[in-house]
């Protein structure tokens, strides 16, 4: 007898489950039930359709060969029945049936042997007033993407507010700014892109501002204001009103768990449908995957919500294996790898940032470095990287990277290292591919590991730009700040915080110009702080006991600089 498999949800995890079930069993009776009109939507591509990277909306719905993934395709190519514009309104676990309702009002009931819930997510809406106004939208569906693309193409709207500075908010801001719309991002946290630590997120914010994007962090939206049913402004918690003709709510998403709750399935501590490592819910014949579930965080070993398209597809594949062959394949969890593009900039991270690692109880060491992704003669572009390591084991538990260089490569290398449990000792001589068109002889990722090794061994004491800035603003101490670049570099750009220029080549001869007190705090730096580190070693050898290196140098300084 063929296995009856019903899949609720036709976006990412659902179709992947269906396709894998068919590959494992030609006899299975498979049905996808999707509430909307479309199947297998590449929702992560919505901002790029809005921004004009491609013009044909159907590219979000097609196979690599250009075939539209509609019910006819699923039936002909995969022998999978797909019911679109049909909602599952109830699950009867005792009878193993689902009650369905089409948009035309027709109702019917289907039985199942195995059921998959992949109902996705719903937009987070922390405020209610004004959401009904024309000109207010999310970017959660194809219809949302079409609406924003029409706005871009018509070029009638001049001002828009993006509520939320996370992945979708940033990508939407870029898409609409490229259309010439004046953009303001409002983010409740004290930084954009919360998966980064502040030092790196500040560079993203700085880059956004160079592109004419206004950014308000640490600001809560109180309500949306309109006239005659049309949005006119966004009101912030401090009373400020930002005029606009469009507001995109991108504050994040919540697991769409209502159907599972009504069926009596267990909900987890992080708010998503609770599943085991086989992706079974509290009912062993009902599986769940995608944005509606919560999963294990591999580093913290706590449940977390991670609504990412790649994870949804991986989960769907594993759930299908277990549906057909019994629960034997485990989904290990997430290290929450993420990346986004911001005009010519990129920002990616994997594992725990410093804040999350400390909250999880780790005793961490961190380091920030800067440098090009390729040699200068190959037009290398800047990368700013931060590594987070567990002091106890030396294991890499987090990595972040921003800049116009090849961020994706760096984050991918780190993700593999974290998943593999590699330590700094493993990373310091990692054999990566090298040729000048692709990387430095010592890749940035390995260079970051070398800097971390120096810190762990006590060869370098680092200090962050934020700490130095706080010292100067609070007058908590008066360190001697030593710039060891060349005079031409100093004249072109400086921090403007009272630093003293003594080029590295002259330092040994001019060491008498430093404070006589060998315990006086000295902070050294250069463009990327490689010369700064060498200067620190010279000073330590000369008997100075409180020497720190400004990590990342002037290129990692996220504040204003003198020119």
Residues 523 and 376 in one domain: no
Contacts of residue 403, defined as CB under 8 A and 6 or more positions apart, other chains included, come to 203, 345, 346, 370, 373, 381, 382, 383, 384
Token readout for 270 is 């992080």
Q: Is 481 helix (H, G, I), strand (E, B) or coil?
A: strand
DSSP state of 228: T
- Supply the pLDDT for residue 507: 98
Calculate mean pLDDT across residues 503-532.
Answer: 97
- Supply the pLDDT for residue 453: 98
Residues 107 and 92 in one domain: yes
- Supply the pLDDT for residue 563: 76
Residues 392 and 420 in one domain: yes
Calculate mean pLDDT across residues 239-260.
Answer: 97
Let me know if residue 294 belongs to a domain: yes
Structural domain ending residue among the three candidates 251, 274, 293? 251
Residues 297 and 374 in one domain: no
What is the bridge-based pairing of β-strands 241-243 and 86-92?
unpaired
Calculate mean pLDDT across residues 108-136.
Answer: 95
Calculate mean pLDDT across residues 503-515.
Answer: 97
Express each pLDDT in 345-403 by its tens digit.
999 999 999 999 999 999 999 999 999 999 999 999 999 999 999 999 999 999 999 99
Residues 525 and 376 in one domain: no
- Supply the pLDDT for residue 344: 94
Residues 293 and 262 in one domain: yes
For 352, the domain range is 344-456
Structural domain ending residue among the three candidates 251, 266, 298? 251
Residue 1 in this model has a pLDDT that exceeds 70: no
Domain harbouring 285, CATH code: 3.50.50.60
Residues 260 and 116 in one domain: yes
Buried b (16+ CB within 10 A) or exposed e, 1-27: eebbbbbbbbbbbbbbbbbbbbeebee
DSSP state of 479: P
Let me know if residue 226 belongs to a domain: yes
Residues 542 and 448 in one domain: no
- Supply the pLDDT for residue 294: 98
Structural domain ending residue among the three candidates 439, 456, 473? 456
Let me know if residue 189 belongs to a domain: yes
- Supply the pLDDT for residue 210: 96
- Supply the pLDDT for residue 69: 95
Q: Is 105 helix (H, G, I), strand (E, B) or coil?
A: coil
Let me know if residue 539 belongs to a domain: yes
Let me know if residue 562 belongs to a domain: no
Instruction: State the catalytic residue, choosing from 44, 62, 340, 401.
Output: 44
Calculate mean pLDDT across residues 44-56.
Answer: 95
Residues 379 and 394 in one domain: yes
* Beta carbons of 71 and 79 less than 8 angstroms apart: no
Query: How many angstroms separate the CA atoms of 479 and 481, rounded?
Result: 6
Residues 406 and 365 in one domain: yes
Residue 44 annotated to the active site: yes
From 5, 549, 62, 17, select the one nearest 329 (Cα to Cα): 17
Residue 158 in this model has a pLDDT that exceeds 90: yes
Which of the four pLDDT bands, split at 50, 70 and 90, describes residue 162?
very high
Token readout for 145 is 């993407």
Phi and psi at residue 522, to the nearest 5°:
-125, 130
Query: How many angstroms separate the CA atoms of 357 and 300, rounded?
Result: 8
- Supply the pLDDT for residue 140: 93
- What is the pTM for the complete model shown? 0.95
Residues 265 and 356 in one domain: no
Express each pLDDT in 459-499 by its tens digit.
999 999 999 998 877 777 789 999 999 999 999 999 999 99
- Supply the pLDDT for residue 393: 97
* Beta carbons of 234 and 225 less than 8 angstroms apart: yes
- Supply the pLDDT for residue 126: 83
What's the first-to-final CA gap in the chain, in angstroms?
76
- Supply the pLDDT for residue 473: 77
Let me know if residue 561 belongs to a domain: no
Which of the four pLDDT bands, split at 50, 70 and 90, describes residue 127?
confident
Domain harbouring 491, CATH code: 3.40.250.10
Average model confidence (pLDDT) for the chain? 96
Let me know if residue 336 belongs to a domain: no
Let me know if residue 102 belongs to a domain: yes
Domains: count for the chain: 4
Contacts of residue 322, defined as CB under 8 A and 6 or more positions apart, other chains included, come to 278, 279, 280, 287, 328, 329
Residues 293 and 366 in one domain: no
């Amino acid at each position: 007898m063929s296995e009856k498999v019903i899949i609720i949800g036709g976006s990412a995890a659902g179709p992947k489950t269906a396709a894998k079930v068919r590959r494992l069993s030609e006899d299975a009776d498979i049905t996808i039930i999707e509430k909307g009109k479309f199947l297998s939507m590449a929702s992560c591509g919505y901002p790029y359709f809005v921004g004009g990277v491609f013009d044909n909306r159907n590219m979000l719905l097609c196979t690599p060969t250009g075939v539209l993934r509609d019910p006819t395709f699923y039936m002909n190519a995969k022998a999978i029945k797909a019911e679109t514009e049909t909602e599952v309104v109830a699950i009867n676990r005792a009878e193993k049936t689902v009650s369905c309702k089409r948009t035309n009002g027709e109702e019917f009931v289907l039985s199942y042997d195995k059921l998959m819930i992949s109902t996705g997510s719903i937009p987070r809406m922390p405020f209610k007033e004004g959401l009904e106004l024309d000109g207010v939208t999310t970017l959660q569906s194809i219809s949302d993407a079409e609406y924003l693309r029409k706005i871009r193409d018509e070029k009638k709207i001049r001002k828009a507010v993006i509520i939320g500075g996370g992945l979708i908010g940033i990508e939407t801001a870029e898409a609409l700014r490229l259309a010439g719309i004046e953009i303001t991002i409002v983010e409740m946290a004290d930084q954009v892109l919360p998966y980064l630590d502040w030092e790196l997120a500040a560079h993203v914010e700085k880059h956004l501002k160079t592109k004419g994007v206004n950014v308000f962090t640490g600001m809560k939206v109180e309500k949306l204001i309109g006239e005659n049913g049309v949005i006119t402004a966004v009101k912030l918690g401090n009373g400020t009103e930002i005029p606009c003709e469009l507001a995109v709510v991108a504050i994040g998403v919540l697991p769409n768990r209502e159907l599972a709750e009504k069926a009596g399935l267990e909900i987890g501590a992080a708010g998503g449908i609770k599943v085991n490592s086989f992706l079974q819910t509290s009912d062993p014949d009902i599986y769940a995957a995608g944005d509606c579930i919560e999963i294990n965080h591999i580093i913290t070993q706590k449940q977390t919500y991670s609504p990412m398209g790649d994870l949804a597809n991986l989960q769907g594949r594993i759930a299908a294996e277990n549906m057909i062959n019994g629960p034997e394949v485990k989904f290990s969890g997430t290290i929450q790898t993420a990346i986004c593009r911001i005009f010519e900039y990129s920002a990616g991270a994997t594992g725990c940032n410093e804040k999350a690692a400390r909250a999880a109880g780790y005793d961490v060491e961190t380091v920030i470095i800067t440098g090009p992704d390729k040699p200068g003669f190959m037009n290398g572009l800047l990368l700013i990287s931060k590594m987070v390591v567990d002091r106890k084991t030396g294991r890499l538990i987090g990595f972040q990277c921003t800049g116009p260089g090849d961020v994706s490569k760096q984050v991918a290398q780190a993700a593999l290292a974290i998943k593999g449990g590699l330590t700094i000792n493993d990373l310091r001589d990692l054999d990566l591919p090298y040729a000048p068109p692709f990387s430095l002889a010592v890749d940035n990722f390995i260079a970051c590991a070398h800097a971390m090794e120096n810190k762990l061994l006590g060869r370098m004491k680092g200090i962050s730009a934020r700490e130095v800035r706080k010292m100067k603003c609070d007058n908590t101490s008066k360190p001697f700040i030593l710039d060891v670049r060349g005079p031409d570099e100093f004249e072109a750009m400086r921090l403007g915080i009272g630093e003293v220029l003594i080029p590295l080549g002259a330092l040994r001869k001019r060491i008498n110009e430093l404070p006589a007190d060998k315990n006086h705090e000295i902070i050294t730096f250069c463009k990327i702080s490689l010369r700064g580190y060498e200067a620190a070693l010279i000073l330590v050898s000369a008997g100075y006991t409180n020497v720190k290196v400004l990590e990342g140098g002037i290129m990692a300084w996220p504040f204003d600089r003198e020119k």
